[in-house]
Structure 1
Amino acid sequence: MIDFAPWDALLRQYVDTQGRVDYQAWKREKPQALAEWLASLDPQNIKFDDNQNVELALWINLYNALTISTILERYPIDSILPKILGIPNWLAFLWFFYRPAYRFSGRRYSLSQIEHKMLRKKFQDPRIHFAIVCASIGCPLLRNNAYWPETVQQQLDEDARRFINNPDKVRYDSQTSTLYCSKIFKWYRQDFLKLARSVQEYIRSYLETDVPLTDATSISYLYYDWNLNQMEKRG
């Protein structure tokens, strides 16, 4: 059985309820703890026994842990989108996601492979987009606890509700009848359309307020903030 407890403990210690990470304290106090947990998984001959929730929890945890581990290695940084003389370095940004730098269970993976092949392709569940976190403010809020096979479905529902009811990610302007939402709904539109007629309908199914959304409601996509999801630096 995969032991998520070390990862869970680190999240509870260094991530707040708003998904902000205390990278400064994490790197100072336990710089090797996450890397050691990830290394402990590599030799394991992981067997899922046809339990998709075990596999789902594993890959979500692994994606987030690998991302945080990479940030800790490079910290201090202010953004996952580096700049050279003020110009975004998109090649370095893409390399962050596409380099096959992570060894797990005898194979090498990139963050992109985990997201698109191990999660999106296999599970066909758009709630995944509210769970995996690329360490930017524009991403979903990082949970301050691990995903567990017994509760992962409930956790994904919570993630979807938290994201869609967060006005920084989704909001409706009644004066202009415009739905403003994260670019995640643009980039992965086809994933949401597998479960709903439109992005508007998918969003409406999770909203906790009565908003007059229809399939024809105008959509405008919000600015995506690539700055690091870090707590305010101290000292």
Structure 2
Amino acid sequence: MTTSSDLASCASMKVLNLKQDPGLKDAMDADALSLSRLLQTSMLRMTGEFLNEVAGTVDYLAFRLSQDYRQYGVLASRLQDVDVSKLNNNQRMAFFINVYNALTVDSLCHLKTLPASTLDVENFWTTNAYLIGPHTYTLDQIEHGILRGNKAHPSSGTPVLSPADPRLEHRLPNLDPRIHFALNCGAKTCPVVRVYSESNLEAALETATNSYLLQEVQVTEGVLKLPQILEWYQQDFADDQEGMLRWIQVYVDEAASAAITDILTPGITGPKIQYFYDWSLNTA
């Protein structure tokens, strides 16, 4: 059941899955992981439907006015009935990755005016939430509290869930840094979204990591350009920058790998490192 503290937190958040349209009730009894796959599959289908492939933009206005989006709302409301405690660690990881990515797009669809960047939306990651079982989860709470095992948020330096928070029961015991290449925050430099399941989790995470780093890590005019994810979450990959570079080296192309070798070799003046991130939103 939903506790009084959860109701209080709902009041301070934008909980997007509280309402349900009885006329669109989906009778299928899906378990938590199946439901999360349905949510993410539905979001991907709608994004494709309203994508301008030439311009690379999404028409979010048409998106949120569509019948499919109303149907999605029914699916999202059913998250209130799932029991996350029944999921093993791999199932829980796949579930929360799918839900995070679906919640990101749903949060954008709820905005009256779309920003140039999600950075322009006040408290975007700390207020938009879903009610999952008896507890609310914001984007930050899913990413940092659950998927990162409640490691400190890179901005605040503190965990997002307190030691007494009942949601800590669902945090992942081991942080897999490849989650950073599976989560999409709505920006252009974010990774491509996939649908995750227990059976495809390992292969999908490995593919996502390889695809993202091959595309984003580049050597240009003597500069090794790295997505800022690697700077913000360096401690998730290794204890220091050297360790992080060694971690990503197996995924990058030949030129980037050679540049990393030069950087890590004593006595060789390797290329400079430059971090970048494009927060622009793809909107029509």
- Identify the match of residue 189 of structure 2 among 138, 158, 164: 138
User: Cα distance 1:61–1:200, how it changes in 2: closer, same or farther (>3 A)?
Assistant: same
Residue aligned with 2:81, SS: coil
Q: Which residue of 2 aligns with 1:189?
A: 234
- Identify the match of residue 126 of structure 2 among 82, 94, 98: 98
**What TM-score, normalized to structure 2?**
0.67
Alignment of 1:162 onto 2:211: yes
Aligned equivalents of 1:162 and 1:107: distance in 2? 34
Residue aligned with 1:165, SS: helix
Contact 1:48 1:54 in 2 (8 A): no
**What TM-score, normalized to structure 1?**
0.79
Q: Which residue of 1 aligns with 2:274?
A: 220
- Identify the match of residue 111 of structure 1 among 130, 139, 142: 139
Contact 2:234 2:241 in 1 (8 A): no
Instruction: Indicate the percent of aligned positions where both proteins have the same amino acid.
Output: 29
Contact 2:178 2:209 in 1 (8 A): yes
Find the structure with the greater CA-based Rg: 2
**Structure 1 residues without counterparts, runs of 5 or longer:** 83-91
CA displacement, residues 157-177 of structure 1 (integer Å, 9 cap, x when unaligned): 1110111011xx21023x52x
Amino acid at match of 2:214: N
Q: What RMSD in Å do the two structures reach over aligned CA positions? A: 2.7
Alignment of 1:206 onto 2:251: yes
Deviation at 1:41, TM superposition (A): 1.5
Residue aligned with 2:254, SS: coil
Q: Which moved more, 1:19-28 or 1:131-140?
A: 19-28
User: Cα distance 1:113–1:186, how it changes in 2: closer, same or farther (>3 A)?
Assistant: same
May I ask how many residue pairs the two structures share in their alignment? 213
Q: Matches of residues 1-235 of structure 1 in structure 2 within 5 Å? A: 1-2=31-32, 3=34, 4-15=37-48, 21-29=58-66, 30-49=68-87, 51-74=88-111, 76-77=113-114, 78-82=116-120, 92-93=121-122, 95-99=123-127, 101-121=129-149, 122=172, 123-143=174-194, 146-166=195-215, 169-173=216-220, 175-176=221-222, 178-193=223-238, 197-209=242-254, 211-212=257-258, 213-214=260-261, 216=264, 217=270, 218-222=272-276, 224-230=277-283, 233=284
User: Cα distance 1:194–1:22, how it changes in 2: closer, same or farther (>3 A)?
Assistant: farther
